[in-house]
C-alpha cells in the first residue's frame, strides 16, 4: 500500500475529508502512515480552496495509536519525533481548523491525535483512553502535556495513571469533545459542523484559530522538552520491554520498576 493509500483525501465545497486507512491494523500509526498524514496536511494547508478538514478513520475504529509492531522494530523515533512529532500531526501549527470524527475507539496515540484537533464529534459507542501506562509507556504524543491544560488536573491524572477507557458521554461531560451522535449520524454531524465553519470569512477563521491556539502553543515548547525527557527515561527500561512483550503474549506483565 502506498503512502497516498494510507491516508485518503477528498475535497468538496471547502471541506477536506482526511481518512486514516489501515483498517486491518485499526489505523495504527507506523512510519509510512505518519509520513502520509504529514503530506496530506502539507497539501491542505497549501490549498486555498480548503477552509476546514474532517479527520476520520476507516473500518471499526478511529485510531488505536502507535503500531506496536513498529515499536518492536525500532521505528518509534520515526513515528514520535519526525516533523510535527507523533503521526506527523500532533505538534503541527495549522492555520485551518480540523474536526475529529471519532467512532469505535480513540486510544493511546489515537486519543492524542484527537486532542490535537480543534473540534471533536464522536459516536455514542466510541471509547477513549490512554492505556500507555499498562504497557510501561507514557502518553508521549501530547496526551500527558495537553490534558491538564484542558481539564481539571485530577481528571487528567485519572486518564494518564489508570489506563482505563471512558465512554463518549464522559468525554463530553469533561469538555474534551463537542458533540455526541448516533453511529449513523457521525459523517453528517461532522460535515454540518465543517460547513458552518467553511461558510464564514476565511481570514476571520484562521486568525480566530490562531488566537485560540496562542495560549497553548506558548506553554508547549517547554512542556515538549519535559515530554522528551520522560520518553527517554522509559525507552530502554525493563518495564517497557516487559509491557510490550506481555501485550503480544496476551499475559499480565511482571513489572520490576526498572
Positions annotated as catalytic residues are 112, 132
Contact 175, 81 (CB under 8 A): no
Nearest to 182 by CA among 236, 125, 240, 136: 125
Phi and psi at residue 254, to the nearest 5°: -110, 95
Q: Is 121 helix (H, G, I), strand (E, B) or coil?
A: strand
CB atoms within 10 A of CB 86: 26
Give dist(CA 106, CA 130) in Å, integer.
Answer: 9
Q: Which grid cell sits at 26?
A: 485499526
H/E segment holding residue 39: helix 31-46
Which strands sit side by side in the sheet containing 52-57, from one edge to the other?
7-12, 15-20, 52-57, 98-102, 119-123, 179-181
Long-range contact set of residues 225-229: C-beta below 8 Å, sequence gap at least 24: 226/145, 227/140, 227/142, 227/144, 227/145, 228/81, 228/140
Amino acid at each position: 500500500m502506498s503512502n497516498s493509500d494510507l491516508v485518503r483525501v477528498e475535497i468538496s465545497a471547502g471541506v477536506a475529508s482526511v481518512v486514516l486507512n489501515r483498517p486491518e491494523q485499526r489505523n495504527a500509526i507506523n512510519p509510512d502512515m505518519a509520513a502520509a498524514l504529514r503530506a496530506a496536511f502539507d497539501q491542505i494547508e497549501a490549498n486555498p480552496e480548503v477552509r476546514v478538514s474532517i479527520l476520520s478513520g476507516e473500518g471499526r475504529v478511529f485510531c488505536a495509536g502507535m503500531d506496536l509492531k513498529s515499536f518492536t522494530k525500532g521505528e518509534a523515533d520515526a513515528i514520535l519525533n519526525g516533523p510535527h512529532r507523533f503521526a506527523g500531526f500532533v505538534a503541527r501549527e495549522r492555520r485551518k481548523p480540523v474536526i475529529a470524527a471519532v467512532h469505535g475507539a480513540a486510544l493511546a496515540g489515537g486519543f492524542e491525535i484527537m486532542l490535537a484537533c480543534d473540534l471533536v464529534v464522536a459516536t455514542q459507542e466510541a471509547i477513549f483512553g490512554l492505556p500507555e501506562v499498562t504497557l510501561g509507556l507514557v502518553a508521549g504524543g501530547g496526551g500527558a502535556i495537553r490534558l491538564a491544560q484542558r481539564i481539571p488536573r485530577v481528571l487528567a491524572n485519572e486518564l494518564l495513571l489508570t489506563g482505563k477507557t471512558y465512554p463518549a458521554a464522559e468525554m463530553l461531560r469533561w469538555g474534551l469533545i463537542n458533540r455526541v451522535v448516533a453511529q449513523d449520524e457521525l459523517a453528517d454531524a461532522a460535515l454540518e459542523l465543517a460547513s458552518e465553519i467553511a461558510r464564514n470569512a476565511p481570514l476571520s477563521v484562521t486568525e480566530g484559530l490562531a488566537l485560540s491556539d496562542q495560549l497553548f502553543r506558548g506553554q508547549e515548547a517547554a512542556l515538549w522538552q519535559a515530554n522528551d525527557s520522560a520518553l527517554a527515561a522509559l525507552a530502554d527500561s525493563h518495564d517497557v520491554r516487559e509491557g510490550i512483550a506481555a501485550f503480544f503474549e496476551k499475559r499480565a506483565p511482571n513489572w520490576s520498576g526498572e
